[in-house]
Homo-oligomer: A and B are copies of this chain.
Amino acid sequence: MPGSTSSKIRTPIILVNFKTYIEGTGKNALKLAQACEKVSLETNVCVGVAPQFADIFSIANAVSIPVFSQHIDPFGAGSFTGHVLPESVKEAGAVGTLVNHSERRLKLADIDAIITRARENKLAQAVCSNNAAVSAAAAVLKPDMIAIEPPGLIGSGIPVSKAKPEVVSGTIDLVRQVNRDAVVLCGAGITRGEDVAAALKLGTEGVLVASGIVKAKDQYGAVMEFAEACRKHR
């Protein structure tokens, strides 16, 4: 992966955001991460997990797949009570971080500072964005990954890759004008293998997914369906 800061991270990637779902908290989070690891080992497809801060340590010490933080703050070490120091999630075992998720939108200057701070800590950065123009703006800051997620489709079950293919391909086009290297992912409404296949066909190198896997009755089966779609694509 170009610009990657971790040899663990390969594309195509299925990046599973645990959000603050109960099914992705504490012991549930650990079990889900282990299911993701199992699929990854069985299919040789890269599956990353983004659990809550307090679950990074136990998960990163239990599984071999890449663990992402859901957010880091732009600050350096110091007097920032209640904030997330990049060094802290790194030492807990994270190899990457989400940045600017639609549920944790950030100031432009902070996105820039966070990318720098993440790089200093060898944390891969997946910057989330809401449309093609914002994706390209973020791409100028040279993060490792851009994840386009149209807000209206998040959690909707309507897959961006099938309902709004032009948003995905338009994002890739616009990003490529300013950044040749960034890996482009897409997310929002992805619940089935065919949604993943459609995303890859549009030129993305993976998906950012949450409820489609975390809320699935059969989490292992859902990840496996996604991974099979990735394997077939190659």
Contacts and interface: CB of A to CB of B under 8 A. Distances in A.
A215 to B, nearest CB: 10
Interface stretch (A2-10, A70-78, A159-167, A195-203): A70-78
A14 interface: no
A78 B20 contact: yes
A70 B88 CA distance: 14
A108 interface: yes
A232 interface: no
A63 interface: no
A22 B22 CA distance: 31
A102 B107 CA distance: 11
A84 interface: yes
Nearest to A83: B20
A89 interface: yes
Contacts of A52: 53, 84-85, 88
A146 B93 CA distance: 34
B140 A88 contact: no
A88 B55 contact: yes
A165 B137 CA distance: 24
Contact of A54 (B53, B105, B130): B53
Given A20-B73, A105-B108, 17 more contacts: A19-B78, A19-B79, A20-B81, A50-B81, A54-B54, A55-B88, A71-B81, A79-B210, A81-B101, A81-B103, A82-B98, A82-B103, A105-B110, A108-B129, A133-B142, A177-B178, A178-B178
